[in-house]
C-alpha cells in the first residue's frame, strides 16, 4: 500500500508539473474561435454533446502539441537563459513521462474526433501532424509564426467539421483569421529571444527584421486579421452586433500594440497573455449574440 500511495503521489505531482509546463489554461486563446466555428456551423447553439467533445478535442490537441514542443525544444530550452527553468531542462520531469503524456493526450483527441463524426475522425491525424510538427519549423524558416497560427487556426474549421460532418470553404476565412492573429502575437513573444535566436541559429521574424521591423510585421498581420473578420461577417451575413465585436477587437489590438515598443518589452506578458485571451472571448460573445438574436 505505501508503494502504491507513493506512486500515486508521484504521478499526481508529475501531472501537475506537466500542466504547469504546457500552460493548459491558455487553451482559452483558440477555444473561443473554435466555438465560433461550431456556432456558425449550427447557425446557433450546437448540441451539448458536440460542445463537450469539441472542448475535449481542443484541450487535448493543444496539450499534446505543447508537451511535444517542450520535448522537441528540450536542448534549446536548456541553452536559453529565459527557459532553463522549464520542467524538462530543470530535471523536474523525465522525457519518458512527457512522451507518455503526449501519446495519451493524442489518443484522447482521436477519441473525441471519433465521438463527433466519421470525417472528424479521418482528419484527426492531419490535425495532429500540423499541431505537432510546428515545433521543428523554427529550425528552418523565419515564418514559423504562421505555422503556429495555422496550428491554432485549424480549430474553427475542425469545429465546423465536428458539427456538420463536412467542410464549407467559408469557414476557412476564420482559419485564416486565427492564423494571422496568432502569428502576430507570437512575433511579439519571440522578440524577447532575439539575441538568443541569432546566436543559436534559430529562425524567426525578429532575427531577420530586427525587433522594430518585427513589430511592423505583427501590425501587418493583425491588420490582415481584421480585414478577414470583416470578410467573414459578409460571407455569413452577420449583423451589427457581430460588426461591433470586430470594432472592439480592432480597438483591443491597437491597445495591445501600444503596450510594446522596440525600446520597451516590459509589458510583453500583458500584451501576449491577457489581451489575447480578452480578444478571443470578446469575439465569441459578439458572434454568439448576433447568431442567437437573429
pLDDT digits (tens, 9 = 90+) for 43-91: 999 999 999 999 999 999 999 999 999 999 999 988 988 888 888 888 8
Q: Inform me whether the pLDDT recorded for 2 exceeds 80.
A: no
Q: Is the pLDDT of residue 255 over 70?
A: yes
Asked if residue 220 has pLDDT above 90, the reply is yes
> Is the Cβ–Cβ distance between 119 and 166 less than 8 Å?
yes
The pLDDT tens digits of the residues spanning 114-142 come to: 999 999 999 999 999 999 989 999 999 99
Torsions phi, psi for 30 (to 5 deg): -95, -20
Across residues 265-272, what is the average pLDDT?
66
C-alpha to C-alpha distance for 287 and 195, rounded to whole angstroms: 41
Residue 18: pLDDT band with limits 50, 70, 90 = confident
Q: What is the pLDDT of residue 258?
A: 87
Select the more confidently predicted residue: 276 or 204.
Answer: 204
Tabulate helix, strand, coil % of the chain (nearest 5): 80, 0, 15
Torsion of CA 159, 171, 271, 146, to 10 degrees: 100
Rounded Cα gap, residues 225 and 176, in angstroms: 8
- pLDDT confidence tier of residue 263, bands split at 50, 70 and 90: confident
* pLDDT given at position 84: 85
Answer yes or no: is pLDDT of 93 > 90. Answer: no
> What pLDDT is attached to residue 4?
54
pLDDT at 8 over 70: no
Q: Is the pLDDT of residue 1 over 60?
A: no
Note the pLDDT of residue 271.
58
Distance CA 134, CA 155 (A): 15
pLDDT in tens, 55-64: 999 999 999 9
Task: For residue range 162-211, list pLDDT tens digits in order.
Answer: 999 999 999 999 999 999 999 998 998 899 888 988 888 899 999 999 99
What does the domain layout of the chain look like in residue ranges? 23-293
pLDDT above 70 covers a percentage of the chain that reads 93
Domain 23-293 sits in CATH 1.10.357.140: yes
Amino acid at each position: 500500500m505505501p508503494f502504491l500511495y507513493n506512486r500515486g503521489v508521484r504521478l499526481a505531482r508529475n501531472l501537475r508539473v506537466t500542466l504547469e509546463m504546457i500552460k493548459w489554461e491558455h487553451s482559452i486563446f483558440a477555444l473561443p474561435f473554435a466555438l465560433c466555428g461550431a456556432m456558425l456551423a449550427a447557425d446557433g447553439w450546437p448540441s451539448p454533446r458536440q460542445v463537450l467533445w469539441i472542448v475535449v478535442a481542443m484541450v487535448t490537441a493543444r496539450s499534446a502539441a505543447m508537451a511535444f514542443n517542450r520535448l522537441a525544444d528540450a536542448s534549446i530550452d536548456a541553452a536559453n537563459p529565459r527557459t532553463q527553468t522549464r520542467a524538462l531542462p530543470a530535471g523536474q520531469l523525465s522525457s519518458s513521462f512527457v512522451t507518455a503524456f503526449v501519446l495519451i493526450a493524442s489518443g484522447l483527441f482521436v477519441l473525441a474526433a471519433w465521438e463527433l463524426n466519421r470525417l472528424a475522425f479521418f482528419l484527426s491525424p492531419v490535425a495532429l501532424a500540423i499541431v505537432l510538427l510546428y515545433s521543428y519549423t523554427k529550425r528552418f524558416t523565419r515564418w514559423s509564426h504562421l505555422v503556429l497560427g495555422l496550428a491554432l487556426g485549424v480549430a474553427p474549421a475542425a469545429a465546423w467539421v465536428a458539427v456538420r460532418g463536412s467542410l464549407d470553404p467559408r469557414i476557412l476565412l476564420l482559419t485564416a483569421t486565427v492564423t494571422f492573429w496568432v502569428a502576430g502575437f507570437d512575433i511579439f513573444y519571440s522578440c524577447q529571444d532575439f539575441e538568443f535566436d541569432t546566436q543559436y541559429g534559430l529562425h524567426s521574424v525578429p532575427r531577420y527584421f530586427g525587433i522594430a521591423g518585427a513589430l511592423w510585421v505583427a501590425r501587418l498581420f493583425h491588420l490582415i486579421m481584421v480585414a478577414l473578420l470583416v470578410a467573414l461577417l459578409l460571407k455569413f451575413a452577420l449583423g451589427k452586433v457581430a460588426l461591433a465585436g470586430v470594432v472592439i477587437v480592432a480597438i483591443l489590438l491597437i491597445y495591445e500594440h501600444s503596450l510594446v515598443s522596440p525600446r520597451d518589452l516590459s509589458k510583453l506578458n500583458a500584451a501576449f497573455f491577457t489581451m489575447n485571451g480578452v480578444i478571443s472571448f470578446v469575439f465569441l460573445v459578439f458572434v454568439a449574440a448576433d447568431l442567437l438574436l437573429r
